[in-house]
Structure formats: C-alpha cells, structure tokens
Chains A and B, each alone.
Chain A
Amino acid sequence: MTEGLAGALWGWPPPVLDPAGPYADSVTVLAWALFAMGVVVTGIVVAALWVALRGPERWRRVLGGEKAVWIGGVAFPGVVLTVLLIWGLTLTASLTKPITGDEMRIRVTGEMWWFRVEYLDAAGNVVMRDANEVRIPVGVPVVFELRSADVLHSFWIPHLSGKLDMVPGRTNLLRAEATRTGQFGGVCAEYCGGPHALMGFVAIAKEPEEWQRWFDARVAADSVQPLAAVSTTNPQLAQGRELFMENGCAACHRVAGTQANGLAGPDLTFMGDRATVGAGILPNHRGTLTGWIGDSQGIKPGNRMPSYDRLSAQQLDAIAAWLGQLK
C-alpha cells in the first residue's frame, strides 16, 4: 500500500526534472544544460588525458606547454563559467521577484517531525488549519510563510519549486505555483534529528473552482461548530470518539466542534480528508490509521506520539473509524 502512495507522489520521472510550475520549470532547463555541460567537459578532460598518455607525438607537443594550461585551465572554464553565472544570476532574479502581497498565503511551520499548515486570509489571520498537506489552486501564485517551532527544517516540493529552510526565529517566504493538477510529494530536506527520514507531506493542486468549493466548505466547518460528523449516533463511531477523548488523544490533537483542542500535534478536524497518515508516509485509510495509532513508534521510531498498544484491535479500529469520517 505504501508503494502505491509513494509511487503516486514521487517515482519516475525524477521530480526535479518533471516540473509542474513556473518556479520549477526554468530550473529543469538549467539542470539539463548543466548536465550537458558536465558530460562535455568530462569528455574533453578524458580526451586530453588520453592524448597526453597515448596520443600521437604532434598532439602531445601541443598539449604539453603552458599555453595549453592557459587555454584549458583558464580561458575555457572562464568562458563557460561566465556564461553559466550570468544565466544563474538572471534566473535567480526572476525566481525571487518581489512579493506583491496579493498572493494566496499559507503558513507552514516545521515541527519535529511533521508540518503544521495554516491558511491565512488577506489580513494574515488563520482561517483554516490542517497538517502535512497543502492544497493549492492551479494557476494561482502562492506564498508559503515558512517557520519552525523547534529546530531547523526545510520545505521542499521538487515538482513545484526549490527548497527553503524553516529557521527558528525567522519567517522565510517561498513562492510557488502549480500549472497542472495532481498530487506532489514534499519532504523535510534539512536534518532535524530522530525520524527526519519520515517527515513528509503532500501538495495537491486542484482546478481553481474545485479548490474554492473545497476551501469554502473547510473554512465554514473549521469555524462554525459543531460538525455533523462529530456528534454521531453510530455506536462504533461513538465508541471511537469516546476512546479518543478518554485516552489522552485530545491533549495533543484538535478536532473542531469537540472538547479536543490540543495544539501540540496535527489538527485532526479533517483527518478523513487527508491523503496520508504519519506525515506523508502512509496512504490514509482505516487500516493504516489503525496501525498508526496502535504502533506509531514501530512505524516511525522516536516520533512524539506514543503507541497505543494497550488498546485492543477493536478499540483502535473504532478510533480509526471515527477519525476516518471527519471530513
């Protein structure tokens, strides 16, 4: 199951060479050009070495003087590097165009070892909370406000843009835009201790209208409580909710419309709607959710959520069932 998810988000072709937006597009072109440069220059040096060692006498004489050093070691790289540098600087400038303030804003905070996501309105107020997932409309420029709650992290969605670090005490702004719909993998790229390897997230690009419908519904549900899904009469779901509240889950997790308002861990108000479990590592369905609650330490050793292995399989399943229908 894991394979399916990772394959959908990552896999072939390499994301860096498979851009889905303007901030990744031009870098892909650059990458191919640099790769070509690398191959050509390696070829030249190997050829020169071959001539030096085995070549005809006349060629060796040409290569065997200081003039060859000036041409091969100074002039040639000088020209190549100057061209590349100009390209690189121009491209850097175009990728860091000033932020106008009209872009859509999403604040992402790196935490050990997951991503807190907050959608902001024009005034900078939080209007909707989520975790380990960002949804953006196609064709709309987005600015991610990157922060850290603890140590250094780095926010990277290779399909959409280069990475930018999340530095405690600072807010870094990352520009991105998707030009096609799809699900794109993201990871923390700066070593942050413990299970850094399993700190991922998903970026989902949707058509603007579809995105707007989704967003409006979310904002409404996040502020106007209670949710229909929260107060259920289904016995299994009710049991799941009860277990959730009794076993301390609520101390760290928030579910809008209930007394669960913990802020230490990911917001679970829309858990059923999320693509992944465990910060971008498992596809989200009842089975994986059950496994995660029961054995989160086995799946992602060292993460901040204890394994609820004292609960029975039936109880875990009930919690997963309740969380799974929070949409």
Chain B
Amino acid sequence: MTSETGFDHKLYGLFPQPRKQPDEGLKELERVWETPRGWKIITAVNNNYIGFWYVVTSFLFFLLAGILALGMRVQLAAPMQDFMSPDTFNQFFTMHGTIMMFLFAVPAVEAIGVMLLPQMLSARDLPFPRLSAYAFWAYLIGGLSFFASLFIGAAPDGGWFMYPPLTSTAFSPGIAVDFWLLGIGFIEISAIAGAIEIIVGVLRTRAPNMTLDRMPMFAWAMLVFGVMIIIAFPAVILCTLLLEAERMFNWPLFDPTRGGDPLLWQHLFWFFGHPEVYIIFLPAAGLMSMMVATIARTELVGYRLNVLALVATGFISFGVWAHHMFTVGMPRVSTGYFSAASMAVSLPAGIQVFCWIATLASGKIRWSTPALFVVGSIVIFVMGGLTGVMLGMVPFDWQAHDTYFVVAHLHYVLIGGMVLPMFAAFYYWTPMVSRTPLSERIGRWVFWLMFSGLHITFLPMHLSGLMGMPRRVYTYLPGRGLDLLNLVSTIGAFIFALGVLVFLYDCARNFRFTAKGPDAGNIFGGGTLEWLPAGLYSTRSIPVVHSREPLWDNPELSREVEEGRHMLPDTATGTRETLITSPVKAEPQYIQLMPGPSIWPLVAAIFTASFFMSLTVQAYPFAAFSAVVTLAAILRWLWDTDAPLAVEQAEVGGGIVLPVTVTGASSHSWWALNILMIVIGMIGALAVFAFFFLYGSSPEVWIAAPALGQTAMIAGMYLGVLALLWAGRRVLRARAGRVAGDLPWVLVMAGALLATWALYCDITGWLDAGLDPTATSMGAIVFMFMALQGQVVIVSLIMVVYLAFREARGLVTTPHNVTMDIVARFTGFVAVQGLVFTIVPRLFPGA
C-alpha cells in the first residue's frame, strides 16, 4: 500500500509490542487526565464529561418540547376547546418545533458524537476540548434562557419557520421574534463549533491505520453531518441577520413595498431547513448501521454502498429545498426539478434500509431491546419515507401541503429516523458509561408503548389532513368529522409519553454514570473500538487497526491495549495529548498537546449568552460589556495554547518518534480554520444569492453604481492586503532560528488596516451614490454586504492586536507559528470576501 505521508506501513507490524508497559506509566496517565474535584468539575473539558452532559441536556429539551406537544394535544382533543388561548397555542407549537429541531435533534446527535467519537476512533479526546466545552455551555445557557421566554409570555409565535412578513415588525412588534432570531442564531454558533470539532476529529484523530474504508459507519455519518452543518447552517444565520436587520434598522429585505421579497426568506430558510432533516437523520442512521452489525453479529453488508448513500444523501439534500414551496406559485420547470430531486433522495435511503435488512438476514440474530428498537425504527422510517414520496408529487402536494398529512409524515420520518434509533442507542451504549446496563425487560415496555403510541397518534393524522385540517390550528370546528380522529391522536400522544416516562424510570433505577470505569462493558458484543477498556484518557495505548471490526478480528486486542502494547502508551510528554493521523489512511503524523480543564470556556459561554440576551431586550451597554468579557475570556483560553514547546518530539512506541505539534497544512488548527472560513464564506455566498434574488424580484429599485475608477481602487486595496500578508509570512520564514521581531506582525497589521480602509471607501462610495439602506431592498442588501464585511474586519483587527501581544511576549516562533499562520490566513480571507462584496453590486447596478 502506498503511503500518504511517507510513513512506512511496515512499522505497524511492530504492534502489539512484545512487552507490557510498567504500571507507573498508567498512574502518570491517570494523573494527567484527572478530573477537577468538587464544584470545579464544571471546568472539565474532557469529552467523557462534556459529551455526557451534552446528551443529558439535549434529552431534557426533548422532554420539555414533548410536554408542549402534550399541551397542544389536550387543546385539540375536542373541537373548539378553551384549554389554552390561541396565542398560547401559537407559542406552544412554535416552541415545540423550534426546540425539537434546534435544541433537541441537532444537539442530541452532536452530543452523541462528542461522547462516542473519541472512543470509537480511540482518540484521547476530540481535538479542541475547550471548544466542545464552550459549545456545550453556550447551548445549555442559551437553550434554557430561550425556553424561559415561555414563562413570561414572550415566546415567539411565528412558527419554527418564522416566515416574514408575519415576523416583521409590522405584525410582530414585541421582542418575541428577536428572542427567536438571536437565541437560535446563538445556538447555531454552538452547533457550528461542534461541527468543526467533529469534522477535524473524524479526519485527524483516528487510530493509526484506521483508513477511511475501515472507519465505523457512525464516524462516516458524523463526517457527512459536519460538512452538511457547515454548508447549511450559514443559511439560517444569514436569515436571522437579514430579518433582524429589517426589524432593528428598518432595512426592507422582505418588505415588497420597498423592493423586498418575503420569498427570499423561504428560499434561504429551506436551503437550511431541508438539509436539516438529513443532518438529524444521517447520524442516527450511522448508529443504526453499527447496532445492526452487532445485533446480527456480522459486518455490515454493503459498507461502501452505505458510505456512498450517506454522501449522496448529503449532496442531494441541498438540491431539494423548494419542495417546501410548491404552493408559493413557482414556475413549472422549477417544480419539476425539485420534484425529481426529492424523489432521487429516497434512493440512498432505500440503500441504507436494505443494507440493514441484508445484514440482519446474513447474520445470526441476538434478540435484545436495542434490536427491537432498531427493527421498529426501520418500519416507521419506511412509512414516513413513503408519505414523503407522496408529498414529492407536486399535484398531490398542492392538496396535502400544510395539512395534518404533513404533520404525520414528518413525525414518522423524524421519530423513525432519529428518535427511536436514539433510544436504541441509549440502550445499546449505556453499558459504556454506566456501571449497570438499562433493563432489557423495562426496555421492551418502553419500545411497545412508544411504537404503538406513535401509530395511534400519527396514523389518523394522515386522514385528518385529507379531511382538510390545516396545520398550526389551535382548534377546529365541530362536525367536520375531525373530532374522533383528533381524540385518538391525543390518546396516542399520551401513550407515547408514557413510554418516555417508563424510560426515565428505567434510567433512575439502573443508570449509574461513570466516566472512568468500571462500566458494565461490552454486553452486546460490539466489534468497534469504543468497547475497549477505557478510562478518562480513553484507552491506555492507541491500537493499530487492521479491519472494520477490530475487536471481533483480534480477541486479544483489549488485553494488548490495556497492557500499553500499542501506540502512544501512557503519556509521551507528561501532558494531555493525542495522536494526530493523516486524513485518508490515518498514518501517525504528530502528537497534539491538549489543553486541560479551564473555567474560560464557561465564562465565555455565559457572556456570549448574556450578549445575545442583552441585544434582545435592547440593553446595548450591557451587550457591549458582555461582548468584551466574552472576547477576553476566549483570548485568555487561547493564550495557553500554541506555547513554545518543552519537547520538540517524542516516542510513541516501537522506536517511532513523532513531532509534537506542527504548523501548516498538516496541522489540525489549519483544518479547523479552513472549515470556519467555509462557514463564513457560505454566509457571504448566500448573501450574494440574496442580492441576485432581490435584483430579479425588484430590478426597478436598483440604482446606478459609483464610478468604475473607485471600484478599481478598492479592488486594488484588497489586492494590496494580500501582498502585505504574503510579505509578512515571507519575513517570518526568512528569520528561521532567530526571534520573529516586529516586522511580521506589523505587515499583517498593515494588511488588516488596509482592509478596514477599503471597507470605509466602499461604504462612503455607496453613500455618495445615494444608496440608502432603509429606502430600498438594494440599499438593504448592499449595506448587509458591508455589515458582514465589517464583522470579519473587526475580527481580523482583534486578531492582529492579539498577535502583537504574543510577539511582545516572545511567543511567536520562527519559521512558522500557528497563531501567525491563522491570523494571516484569516486576514487574507477578509480581503477576498471584501473583493467579492465590492465587485458584485458594482457590476450589477440598475439603470
């Protein structure tokens, strides 16, 4: 096999090492990874804790949103009831949808990823533990404050899709919509942080020789999940920015009387919203694939097909968004395209379902509670998928759209595709984190209650929809033939809830969390690495992997790993560390030093939350204060990283010596930064889409652009920024072995300042041309470009100041330095984005 990085694959033959490691090493490892005691546990950043808290929190939101659903079902149990007012009902269904999608489903799969991935990949932790901690705390605090808006009657009531103009100031003057926009925008930041962590984790922290082709299916699913998040979530962030700009500054992006268009929101929202469904489903499908293999005690049939299906689903899901909009009056050609794409996306789903069935058929089934959930999920998911095919047929959708038929469809898909697999996963992976497993007997009760409750609730809704019952109604008239159907649905909902209650009882009785063992162990007989004996540091040594199910193929593996006979036994540098491997073939590349417990991610999360909350209630001074504290906390936590090294390289066993941290293209931070730039770039690209959409919708409000000479000058300035950055890096490289000196950061600083000046010229140019952001949609979107550009300019200015501080302390190393690398690269991105934002509107002016 050819090598990806020049690593000699024969070296894998050295493992397992013949001799076990001395016990002192294990003690040292335990000391290094020790968790802070007492209340200081909140400073923990280890994924064993963060992952678990994350899962518990997301489940809490599942329960809260479920309680809201029960409230709605009581209201709808009989016609024209007064159990709750229309306003309360509207808040309930808005919060139910919003919480289930944003605060339960996405965080839950992300949480399961944070908890399971390092174990499955045999990494000591995810690559950015403090970022995980920040993402978790931001989510917990932001989520709970968002939910609390219900108690003060200020919960949003515009639906989870928040369509303007209902959510514009004219029809929703209060702060409820702002709560949604800022709260959800904030939680999306947390989700994106998690996604970056997961992508880098999957690609760079796998056990040696765990090639992409040997990766557990869940890791594949999480990789696709991560990529989909960084492409899709920017759309909802842009949505919230645009609507907030309309609400706060009166920029008419969605107001048709000034050239805006309410359909712009729908396009952007569903460009996020439909992939969102697969973002939720794919990780659960990954869990299913892994559980199916264990249940059938055989490798997954069609591993590569399944990978192909995951990737294809991710890809196609970005081309189907407008099937949520068949009734807005689209041209026939567009409906045809989106209908075809929506049909096409069922093929990869079919592949996955039949891979599972084939695996079950080819193996030797061991029946268990997870198995029951898995089989039940398949049936429900298929039923939901089929009603999805029905809705993909445009003429049928014109009838069924926005009726209870769709409510039934989406709940079948999401419960069959995500909720029941999650419960299966709870039963299956509990032995990994609990001293005792959950009860097989109680688990069957849970399953049958949920399974029957689901059908009793949602099967009748198909008919309610065809009977003409629209969605999002707080009541219905008597005599429409809907009374009995709704009563049955309500009864079903309570049966389902009873199942969840029994599950909680099972947890209370049997779940005993343990992060460092001993846990209940591999009772279902799984073959992947998460079932290796592990402590807070994951495994004592990191196994060299030769197959997809290493534990089945080498029954001795657990013992070998525990005796420290594989790679990176104990600790090589006396600090927290993990092995970074290459993205395709997982060849060992370097040892990453990992940050330990820290209060700063928590502080940053608290003040990020308070920043967004203060914005919502328009307490601007406090918002500014919170922003400063957040920034300080983040910079403080970063300060410890990228420190000059005590040791440059270390042995990872078998005489193999690896460098300790690297810079440039093989560094994990380089990967993370590039992903972040994709996220920001997506926001920009979608803003450009919005520009052209509005241009097409209302060309009459477009005005002439400033003179061409001015455009050329600004473009020249941005090119100058790139030149300065290039020079800065050259200088740093030329000073290899010497101190970095002031020149590199001065050059980078000059670049950032030039970018700032370019933006200033762009803004004044448009103002002089008579463009007013509050007058027309053109003004609004062009100034939105500049607002987006302003954000990244500010970030890059903060970064260069930070770089200057580090240089003053002698922390900038030559010839490469991670901080310098990142600051220069980001500032380069700022210049490129500025160039696009300058040129696009000036090349497409109006008459």
Contact = CB atoms under 8 A, between A and B. Distances in A.
Nearest to B479: A3
A194 B347 contact: no
A314 interface: no
8 contacts: A38-B386, A72-B357, A88-B395, A95-B395, A164-B327, A187-B470, A193-B166, A198-B475
Nearest to B477: A6
Contacts of B166: 151-152, 191-193
B360 interface: yes
Contact of A77 (B328, B346, B362, B480): B346
Interface residues of A, number: 93
Contact of A68 (B256, B343, B354, B468): B354
B614 interface: no
A16 B301 contact: no
Given A27-B398, A38-B390, A45 B479 contact: no
Interface stretch (A57-65, A233-241, A317-325): A57-65
Nearest to B475: A197
Contact of B353 (A15, A73, A81): A73
Interface in B405-423: none
Contacts of B327: 154, 162-165, 189-190
Interface stretch (A46-54, A210-218, A260-268, A288-296): A46-54
B480 A7 contact: yes
B362 A169 contact: no
B262 interface: yes
A16 B399 contact: yes
A42 B386 contact: yes
A48 B387 CA distance: 20
Given A38-B390, A69-B351, A151-B171, A6 B395 contact: no
B789 to A, nearest CB: 29
Given A69-B358, A85-B339, A14 B468 contact: yes
Contact of B358 (A64, A154, A156, A164): A64
B355 interface: yes
Given A73-B351, A191-B472, A150 B165 contact: yes
Nearest to B295: A53
Nearest to A15: B468
Given A152-B163, A163-B327, A197-B472, 18 more contacts: A12-B467, A26-B395, A38-B389, A68-B361, A69-B302, A85-B343, A88-B394, A95-B395, A158-B399, A164-B327, A165-B327, A169-B261, A187-B470, A191-B159, A194-B87, A194-B90, A195-B86, A195-B474
A63 B86 CA distance: 52
B332 interface: yes
A197 B359 CA distance: 47
B34 interface: no
Contacts of B256: 168-170
Contacts of B389: 34, 37-38, 81, 84
Contacts of A10: 467-468, 477, 479-481
Complex A-B, nearest 6 residue pairs according to Cβ-Cβ distance, in ascending order:
A162-B398, A169-B256, A64-B362, A3-B479, A197-B473, A73-B354
A65 B300 CA distance: 10
Interface in A51-97: 51-53, 55, 59-61, 63-66, 68-69, 72-74, 76-78, 81, 84-85, 87-89, 91-93, 95-96
A172 interface: yes
Interface stretch (B124-132, B376-384, B730-738, B792-800): B376-384
A5 B480 CA distance: 9
A30 B470 contact: no
A10 B302 CA distance: 50
B379 A46 contact: yes
A42 B381 CA distance: 10
A229 interface: no
B262 A49 contact: no
Interface in A256-280: none
B329 A170 contact: yes
Nearest to B394: A92
B357 A52 contact: yes
Given A65-B362, A88-B395, A194-B87, A77 B350 contact: yes
A73 B359 CA distance: 13
A195 to B, nearest CB: 5
A326 B278 CA distance: 56
Contacts of B343: 81, 84-85
A11 interface: yes
Given A81-B346, A88-B394, A69 B481 contact: no
Interface in A75-128: 76-78, 81, 84-85, 87-89, 91-93, 95-96, 112
A221 interface: no
Contact of B382 (A4, A15, A42): A42
Contacts of B481: 7, 10-12, 14
Contacts of B480: 6-7, 10-11, 185
Given A16-B466, A169-B262, A189 B401 contact: yes
A272 to B, nearest CB: 22
Interface in A1-48: 2-7, 10-12, 14-17, 24, 26-27, 30-31, 34-35, 37-38, 41-42, 45-46, 48
Given A41-B382, A49-B375, A164-B329, A14 B398 contact: no
B110 to A, nearest CB: 28
Contact of B86 (A17, A89, A154, A197): A197
Contacts of A286: none
A96 B332 CA distance: 8
A74 B335 contact: no
Q: Could you say which of A37, A45, A46 has the most chain B C-beta atoms within 10 Å of its C-beta? A: A45
Interface of A: 2-7, 10-12, 14-17, 24, 26-27, 30-31, 34-35, 37-38, 41-42, 45-46, 48-49, 51-53, 55, 59-61, 63-66, 68-69, 72-74, 76-78, 81, 84-85, 87-89, 91-93, 95-96, 112, 150-152, 154, 156, 158, 161-165, 167-170, 172-173, 185, 187-198, 200, 281, 301-302
A149 to B, nearest CB: 11
B262 A6 contact: no
A115 to B, nearest CB: 14
Contacts of A26: 395
A72 B350 contact: yes
A42 B476 CA distance: 31
Contacts of A6: 477-480
B470 A164 contact: no
Contacts of A185: 468, 480
B357 A92 contact: no
Contact of B479 (A4, A48, A196): A4
B463 interface: yes
Given A34-B390, A73-B354, A163-B401, A189 B479 contact: no
A168 B354 contact: no
B444 interface: no
B340 interface: yes
A302 B481 CA distance: 26
Contacts of B397: 162
Contacts of A49: 357, 360, 375, 378-379
A84 B87 CA distance: 41
Contacts of B473: 196-197
B257 interface: yes
A281 B171 CA distance: 24
Given A69-B305, A189-B470, A91 B395 contact: yes
A151 B346 contact: no
A61 B172 CA distance: 61
Contacts of B685: none
A168 B352 contact: no
A53 B360 contact: yes
B470 A27 contact: no
A34 B396 contact: yes
Given A69-B351, A188-B470, A196-B473, A30 B386 contact: no
Contacts of B157: 193
